[in-house]
Amino acid sequence: MTREVKLNELTALLETATYPLSVATAREEFDDVRLVYADGTEPLAAVLDRIDDEQFESPDEAQSSIYNTIPVEGVGEPGQSEGEG
């Protein structure tokens, strides 16, 4: 069964792993997770495939690496902030 995880829920997901965590282990552990973007979804394993790091030392480091790899279109309209409107 596939788990869909919104970006604002990613921290809680990453905190369920044991660190240090290799990227290869993260791919296996989260192979059923699809990240939900503003414009669709993507398997977390596909995002992890684009990361050059070999290991994450903490959930914060893993989240930062993942966020740096997510397409800009995935997080919403460029230049738009949550508080506007």
Within 10 angstroms of residue 22's Cβ, the number of other Cβ atoms is 13
Condensed to tens digits (0 to 9), the pLDDT of residues 17-26 reads 999 999 999 9
Q: Residue 26 burial (CB < 10 Å; 0-12/13-18/19+)?
A: buried
**The pLDDT value given to residue 79:** 46
Give the predicted TM-score (pTM) of the model.
0.82
**pLDDT-based confidence at 34, cuts 50/70/90?**
very high
Q: For residue 34, what are its two tokens?
A: 């699809």
Percentage with pLDDT > 90 across the chain = 78
Q: Domain boundaries in the chain?
A: 3-72
Long-range contacts from 45-53, C-beta under 8 angstroms, 24+ separation: 48/23, 51/23, 53/23
Determine the Cα–Cα distance for residues 12 and 21; give it in Å rounded to an integer. 15
